[in-house]
Amino acid sequence: MLNEYRQRFINESLQLILLDNDSVVVASDNSIFHVAQGESITELHPFFESVPSLIESETKVFKFLCIHLSLQGDFRIVDISISKEEPHAVLVIHDLTEHYESYQSAAQARNESVIKTELTVIKNNELEERERFKNLFIQNFSHEIRNPLTSIVAIANILSDTSLTDQQRKMLDFLQESNAALKLMLEDILSLGAIESGKLHLQEKPFDLTKLFRLLEFTYKTKTKQKNIELVAVFDERIPDFVEGDRLRLYQILTNLLDNALKYTDSGKISFSLSFNQKWANKVSIRFEVADTGVGIPEESLESIFESFTQLDVGQNKDGSGLGLAIVKGLLELMGSKIKVTSQVGQGSVFYFDLLLKYPLHPVQEALKGSTSPIQGDIKRKAKDKVNLLVVEDDERIQTLILKTLVDAEFFNVDILNDGADVLKELVNNQYNIILMDVDLPNISGDHLTRLIREFPFKNIKNIPIIGLTANAFNEQITSYLASGMNKVLTKPFEKEDLIKAILRVLR
């Protein structure tokens, strides 16, 4: 019985061929392929062309696995062994076609997926590279545009103070509106670029959070009123007044969120709240939240709304650059936080984030208090009229110090700007005698701004004395600030006397 089956099942898949020393077929059972007696095996298939040299070699047994043989219209995948049994060689062909075919499909799947993964990675890298290049280009381009635009804005402002016909006035209004829109867009692109390239460095300075909150509350009360919606603003009393951080960037985050809420809400209300989470030794965790009753965001878009202008759907963002939320996301990442959003279409959206901020253990106001030394009569003698002084400085401690030093003296009108971007406009609209300018301003550096002022086409503006304020005490840096056109540079922290002396020196 068994022998019969062996005959059927095993013999069918095994072929034995007997060769002489010249590789000529002596006998074959022909169970797979037909091999004629007296023929050289090398004629059968190119595989066998190596048989003569194998027979000649020292080795007794050879085994070849997984050989594809296609002959006599038949295709098989086989293992072949060759054993030398003097004066013959025995060749055994084992048909394993089925076995190897299943192995083939496994290998097929594996290799294809390995190759596909590799090519995908390469492609993604290329795309990223191209994206980086594009962003860099947009960045540089925007930067170049900013200077001429600054001049256009300033000149347009001057023009608007001259007498114009109604038609000219209308055209100028339109021009100024377009300027403003373009400027906002450029600022957004530049901010985002700075954030994404890691060039933006956050400031760590104490500032009055309640003041910031009240400013926003005031601004957006007006704006919501215009749209006939309500603004509910809540400031948790347990939050300290003063915290340390980047006031300007926080302001930017909150205005972007509030602008966004305003843009997509036509009825109902916008809630803006700061609530207290927790307090440690000298750190406080605060929840900032902007909620609206606007159109809401479909679930599938909840991620993409924070993507930058590379994915921008231009058609949908007629007002603004559409970069606001991307900026929010980027800035918060720099601050070690994350913007979160929940939303329901037709109901509204809630944007929120938590910030962990240091707060000064001793109230800042106290620290800044000190004896106000009487201001020398020198100033009075030098300045016949009151001196109009513009302070461009975002550090509130320095602002306070300057105010304390100068305002009491009553010789000075002091205006303060936090942001360098508004300086040229202010210079055009007001008559200043001296500018005190922080060098390390956000957005635009003080020395850069000085250069712009020095290149201004109007004498009364380009010649205003500028005193630089900097924390950089290195000589080469101070020299480079002076080279930009500053008349004098004060290193922070400075004494009141230093400030007064500097002012006296530059006053003519």
Partner 1 sequence: MHRSKKLVVLGHFGVGKTSLIRRFVSDVFSDKYKVTIGVHITKKVVEISAGNSVSLILWDLEGTDDITTIRNSYLLGTHGAVFVFDVTRPSTFQNLNEDLKVVAEKLRSVPIIVVGNKMDLVDANDLITVLGENDIAYDFLSSAKTGSAVEDLFYKMATLLQEDA
Q: Which is nearer to partner 1, 96 or 158 (CB)?
A: 96
Instruction: Check residue 127 for interaction with partner 1 (CB under 8 A).
Output: no
103 binds partner 1 (CB under 8 A): yes
Q: How many Å apart are CA 309 and CA 408, to the nearest integer?
A: 49
Per CB under 8 A, 140 contacts partner 1? no
Q: Is 133 in the site for partner 1 (CB under 8 A)?
A: no
What amino acid occupies position 149? Answer: L
Query: By the 8 A CB rule, do 327 and 195 touch?
Result: yes
44-73 binders of partner 1 (CB under 8 A) = 45-47, 49-50, 53-54, 62-68
Least Cα distance to 307 among 326, 289, 290, 322 occurs for 326
Rounded CA Rg of the chain: 41
State which of positions 156-185 bind partner 1 (CB under 8 A). Answer: none
In angstroms, the CA 340 to CA 351 distance is 6
Q: State in angstroms the smallest separation of the CB of 118 from partner 1.
A: 6
Q: Is 122 in the site for partner 1 (CB under 8 A)?
A: yes
Q: Any idea what DSSP says for residue 24?
A: B
Of residues 121 and 180, the one with the C-beta less far from partner 1: 121
What is the maximum alpha-carbon separation in the chain?
Answer: 131
> Contacts with partner 1 in 3-22 (CB under 8 A)?
none
Q: Which is nearer to partner 1, 109 or 367 (CB)?
A: 109
Instruction: From 463, 469, 505, select the one nearest 378 (Cα to Cα).
Output: 505
Bridge partner residues of 235 (DSSP): 274
Q: Which is nearer to partner 1, 98 or 495 (CB)?
A: 98
- The angle at the Cα of 338, spanning 336 to 340, to the nearest 5 degrees, equals 165
CB of 205 to partner 1, least distance (A): 47
The answer to whether residue 119 forms part of the interface with partner 1 (CB under 8 A) is yes
Q: How far is the CB of 27 from partner 1 (least distance, A)?
A: 24
Phi, psi dihedral angles at 144 (to 5 degrees): -65, -35
Tracing tokens 């390239």 back to the chain, one arrives at 197
- Residue 315 near partner 1 by CB under 8 A: no
**Binding segment (CB under 8 A) for partner 1, from list 43-51, 160-168, 439-447, 499-507:** 43-51
- Nearer residue to partner 1 within complex by CB, 33 or 481: 33
Question: Cα angle vertex 461, ends 458, 463, to 5°?
Answer: 100
Our finding on whether 115 is near partner 1 (CB under 8 A) is: yes
Could you tell me which of 184, 189, 313, 205 has the C-alpha nearest to residue 255? 184
Smaller CB separation from partner 1, 120 or 365:
120
Contact 321, 354 (CB under 8 A): no
CB contact set of 332 (below 8 Å; sequence gap of 6+): 253, 338, 339, 353
Residue 113 interacts with partner 1 (CB under 8 A): yes or no: no
Residue 49 Cβ vs partner 1, minimum distance, rounded to whole Å? 5
Is the CB of 43 or the CB of 236 nearer to partner 1?
43
Spatial separation of the C-alpha atoms in residues 37 and 109, rounded to whole Å: 43
Nearer to partner 1, 101 or 455 (CB): 101
To the nearest whole angstrom, how small is the minimum distance from the Cβ of residue 31 to partner 1?
21
Site of interaction with partner 1 (CB under 8 A): 45-47, 49-50, 53-54, 62-68, 77, 100, 103-104, 107-108, 111-112, 114-115, 118-119, 122
